[in-house]
Amino acid sequence: MRNPGITGRRRARWAIALAAGFALLIIGCESAPVATTVGATPTPQTIAVTAPTAQPPDVEQSAPVAIAATAPPEPVSTATRVAPTPAPAATQTPPPAATSTRSASAPPAILFTPQPTPTTGPSATPLPTFAVPPGFPTETPSPDYLSWARPGAYRSPYFAPFALESFSSNQPLATTYFFYWFDYTGRTGGTPPRTDFLPFKPTDIATTSFFEPGWYEKQFSDMLDAGIDFVLPDYWGEPGQYGRRVAPAPVLNYFATQGLPPMIEALDRLRARGKNLKLGMFLDTTIMNNEDLTTARGKQILYASIRDYYSRIPPVHWAAIDNQPIVWLYDAQKVYAFNQSTFDYIYEQFAKDFGGLRPYIVRELQWYQAKNTTTQEIIKTEGMYGWGAAPSGFNSDPRFTVAEVGPGFSNTQFGGQGRLFTDRAGGQYYEENLILALRSRRKILAVETWNELGEASGILETLEFGRQYIELTRKYVDMLKAGRIP
């Protein structure tokens, strides 16, 4: 069965969405990728790696340009990142914090020290290893609370110049949430998860596994058939970061990192056939474990997940808008506190690690304004959405920058109080919400979800519906991109 804590949390989240309308903020979001080069020598169409200049989140972005990263330096045994000394922190309720106002532009320093290659986990699921150029160490930040972090090789200064293919904020885009914690093949050992309680079953359930490149290849190919431009895999961090099993995944959350290499292999196969699906980051913030993200510790923990995810993925597959790799945040229920400095830190550190690039941050409604701080400042990032469209429908508040839709929802099969059921009505519910989404004229359409099987919110090919929802999605995505409003 699914993790009752997670199911209960989402149940409460969706109940809130059903009960009330949202008050939201539009933060500068508009939207086939345009190639861009990342290099050390500035030219009229080059962003220099050595001179990353952080801009305020609400600054209008320029048209896509070519970006390049510096070539690898001579191998060294350690790498030091030095950031400005932080100002004292603001007074908070528990957990305790320091006593004065924190500067939003003063991230704390992080010292990187060499660590041995990760050892294996449980016998059936060895920890993944990621290629680091010869002569370079596998690094992990020095604080004990970041001992799980394992950044990959696709970052400064380890990666040679590369082309970044970017969407424009002026073009309509479609995305979807992809859950890859399944292993119905039993590759991880033991008895494969049950499928009898699933309301709808995928046609390829026999090969559904986060280990299988072929499974990703089929799902990603179907996403392209549906008109999806970039996918948002539900990322649960690294082994040791979140100390409990994420049902239905086996062996804690190893799937989140073990699934990346076969996912990349599938993208490579598709690209070789001329099919180009981009990969964004959907950070499931459940793994924040109620951290205070206004503190140096909290900021480092949040950013480490973002850095490590993108540094493991070849840049040719990155989803970017206006040359900004996409970072999409789930809700803030498992975050104790945050403010604008939380996001300023992400922008500053990302630029240092990725050749001057800044991320394109889309946050969920619960990140609308500062939480558990002395002020209620409105947070500024590139975009905002509201989770819960699958059970509660499209939210028409015009201050959203993302049009969120879903085909229906059910978790009643798990039993217990407070369960939700939203009838698909033969596709009518989904189609009505797609029409409302297009009428909102928002640039990004987000489908909730591609394949959350346990909550019956997927639009993937199933035994029960065939490709009905893939075809419905393509119909309205084509209309969105053609500017035809139903």
Quickly state the pLDDT bin for 240 (edges 50, 70, 90): confident
Q: Is 227 a residue whose pLDDT tops 80?
A: yes
pLDDT of 186 over the 50 cut? yes
The CATH number for 441's domain is 3.20.20.80
432, part of any domain: yes
Query: Is residue 331 pLDDT above 50, yes or no?
Result: yes
Report if residue 39 sits inside a domain.
no
C-alpha 221/C-alpha 219 separation (Å) is: 5
pLDDT, residue 73, reads 33
When pLDDT is cut at 50, 70 and 90, the band that residue 162 belongs to is confident
Evaluate if pTM is beyond 0.95: no
pLDDT of res. 53: 34
Residue 349 contacts residue 307 (beta carbons within 8 Å): yes
Give me the mean pLDDT over the 85-94 stretch.
38
Phi, psi angle pair for 226, to nearest 5°: -80, -5
What is the pLDDT, as a whole number, of residue 323? 96
Backbone dihedral region of 358: left (phi > 0), alpha (psi from -120 to 50 degrees) or beta? beta
Does 144 fall in a domain?
A: no
Determine which helix (DSSP H) or strand (DSSP E) holds 421, and give its type and residue range: strand 421-422
DSSP secondary structure string for all residues of 196-242 = TT-SS-BTTGGG-BTT-HHHHHHHHHHHHHTT--EEEEEE---TTTS
User: How many domains are contained in the chain?
Assistant: 1
Angle 178-329-242 from CA coordinates, rounded to 5°: 80
Backbone Cα Rg of the chain:
21
Answer yes or no: is 161 within a domain: no
The verdict on residue 212 lying in a domain is yes
Give the pLDDT band (50/70/90) at residue 38. Answer: low
What single letter denotes the amino acid at residue 205? I
Q: What is the per-residue pLDDT for 196?
A: 78
Query: Whole-angstrom Cα distance, residue 48 to residue 351?
Result: 11
At residue 163 the predicted structure's pLDDT band, cuts being 50, 70 and 90, is: confident
- Whether the predicted pLDDT of 34 surpasses 90: no
| Confidence grade of residue 128 (pLDDT, cut at 50, 70, 90) | very low
What pLDDT sits at residue 189? 72
Which residue did the predictor score with more confidence, 60 or 346?
A: 346
Residue 378 in tokens: 């409105």
Is the residue at 11 inside a domain?
A: yes
**Residue 230 covered by a domain:** yes
Q: List the domain range (segments joined by +) for residue 290.
A: 4-31+167-482
Q: Does 383 map to a domain?
A: yes
Sheet holding 163-166, edge to edge: 47-48, 34-39, 163-166
Q: Are 172 and 443 in contact (CB under 8 A)?
A: yes
Name the residue among 455, 406, 460 with its Cα closest to residue 223.
460
Q: How confident is the model at residue 157 (pLDDT cuts 50, 70, 90)?
A: confident
Q: List, for residues 261-311, the tens digit of each pLDDT value.
A: 999 999 999 999 999 999 999 999 999 999 999 999 999 999 999 999 999
| Diameter over CA atoms, the chain | 62
CA distances from 409 to 133, 202, 270, 392 (A): 46, 16, 31, 9
pLDDT at site 250: 75
The mean pLDDT value for 450-454 works out to 96
